[in-house]
Amino acid sequence: MTSGAHVLLESLKKEGVTVIFGYPGGAILPVYDVLYDDPDIRHILVRHEQGAAHAADGYARVSGRLGVCMATSGPGATNLVTGIATAYMDSSPVISIAGQVPLTLLGTDAFQEADVFSLMLPITKSNFLIRRVEDIPRVVKMAFEIASSGRQGPVHIDLPKNVQTSEAEFAYSNNNILNFDDSEPDPDSIRKAANMLVNAERPLIFAGGGTIISGAHDEVLELTELLAAPVVTTLMGKGVIPEVHPLCLGMVGMHGSKVANQAIQECDVLLGVGVRFDDRATGNVQQFAQNAKIIHVDIDPSELGKNVRVDLSIVADAKKALKKIINCLISFSKRYRKTNWEERLKELRSGCPENNFNAGTPIKPPYVIKTIMKVLEENDIVATEVGQCQMWAALYFKVRKPRTFITSGGLGTMGFGFPAAIGAKVACPNATVVDIAGDGSFLMNCNQLPTAVENNIPVIVVVFDNRYLGMVRQWQELFMKRRYSAVYLGESTDFVKLAEAFGAKGWCVERPSEMEPALKEAIKYGKTAVLDVKIDREMNVFPMVPPGSAIYEIIDEETVLT
């Protein structure tokens, strides 16, 4: 006989859990008491529960394993909500566990009681309120199966305090409980897709985050080279093929590259794989890919045809579907024939040269991004906060390997990057991990600095210091006649002193020539570091598609000035 708290930890270990990001409290104390004597699970004490969820999310995104976070009842559990919603929108497999008041007190408005089960319903794949200690092993097993199967995502477990202290025999089954359907894609649909692609004059592959989650990077690369078809990606799909590859046109959408957006409009067959066709990627859906027949491959049938018209739908894991399409193409006697598509793409590229931002002052953010890319190795990891810093990173950081660029795409959660970087570093301790941060976004979770310092998790934060909520200010400049309402952060924050106050080290970078030496010194330092980079305060992210416009209706700085 053993306690429910002990059963929970043993069940987690059976699922391969070695680290939990969490914050204790009264309703989860029995679990923490057992954790005190457990040498097999590392607990990382965060400084706010939202950080625990983001750290577990970052851990999952770079490792491909499930991340686990834990909190107490009431405000502890509700503080997890933003992080769990972030993971849900980006299909990241996270298990969140929260203590709950004893079953006898449920519904009485007891101290630190909240209906977390209901709160989590719309932002998880599934969630559980455990009422018997005997159910813990089965629920944990189910939670891990649900989170990692099909379209991945978070699962929440609510564990009342009396269930943690009750006793039962521990028995854990290694057999799958749910047996999710893992069927092969429809052969007729695969043949149709292959025929459409091989007969296309201007084929284009549109890869989303699902291709990275499924591990389909090799297949995307093979298919694009087999067809000589270029690849465009969503923000979440960055890195599915090396972005330095000649057939990679970059990211599409509101802040996508001009070439990628124009290619969408000119292609005649568009293969969307692991993408949601969300509004930030498509712009005005009525004018999206008007000249193309669209093939949509997604593991989640509810996404097919949800946002854009689709000519052929394939419900399948991205890796499986692409393998089948490749095999089908190879079996055809008819090979890809050279068309004028390659020449047209060269023409588009020559008409959209990448800006070469000089090393002048004030520092230009793209210069900082390119310096980071120059210093980091291909296996190193970049996390981003949300806003202008995120879009500059998306445009100018050329990702070379999958799972090395993590960002909050669907929810756009400010404060995501730094705790996610902490989780990424725990998962990949040999990689250098850099958080590309806006000052406003970093201030939301800068309280995680002691988490990194005290747990010896060396993460480097590069703060784009412009003293504004930059993306909101940009919209106010472009669409609200420069009426800068509630976006100025003031002059009081000293990020170097902030870092030092928490036991980290800080550098102030005021000139471009200081950026590379400071970053190299921070990497050599080998501990948590913050680089306060003084950037051009009112520089905007371009190109940009105004909200509600077609993705070819692009504005840039020259357009704005004229």
**For 169-213, where are the E strands, in sequence order?**
203-207
Which residue do the tokens 């890809």 mark? 336
CA distance 127 to 147: 10
Closest CA to 461 of 477, 479, 442, 475: 442
Has 539 been annotated as catalytic?
no
CA distance 61 to 521: 27
Dihedral sign of CA atoms 208, 287, 85, 411 in order? positive
Which residue do the tokens 């449920």 mark? 106
- Which among 13, 14, 112, 527 is annotated as catalytic? 112
CA distance 60 to 140: 17
SS3 336: coil
Q: Other C-beta atoms within 10 Å of 501: how many?
A: 12
The bridge status of strand 42-45 relative to strand 460-465 is: unpaired
The bridge status of strand 203-207 relative to strand 231-233 is: parallel
- Which among 471, 515, 539, 544 is annotated as catalytic? 471
Has 1 been annotated as catalytic?
no
- Write 494-502 long-range contacts (CB < 8 A, 24+): 494/532, 495/439, 495/442, 495/463, 495/465, 495/530, 495/532, 496/530, 496/532, 498/446, 498/449, 498/530, 499/449, 499/528, 499/529, 499/530, 502/446, 502/449, 502/450, 502/453
Contact 519, 375 (CB under 8 A): yes
Contact 281, 182 (CB under 8 A): no
233 forms beta bridges with 207, 251
Instruction: Tell me the DSSP string of 216-263.
Output: -HHHHHHHHHHHT--EEE-STTTTSS-TTSTTEEEE-STT--HHHHHH
Q: Distances from the Cα of 122 to the Cαs of 68, 89, 234, 274, in angstroms?
A: 19, 11, 24, 21
Tokens coding 404: 């090395």
**For 358-446, where are the E strands, in sequence order?**
381-384, 405-406, 433-438
- Which among 125, 141, 161, 323 is annotated as catalytic? 161
- Which among 10, 49, 145, 303 is annotated as catalytic? 49
Has 500 been annotated as catalytic?
no
Has 471 been annotated as catalytic?
yes
Give me the sheet containing 405-406, strands edge to edge.
405-406, 381-384, 433-438, 460-465, 529-534, 505-509
Closest CA to 538 of 453, 474, 445, 455: 474
Has 49 been annotated as catalytic?
yes
Annotated catalytic residues are 49, 111-112, 161, 471
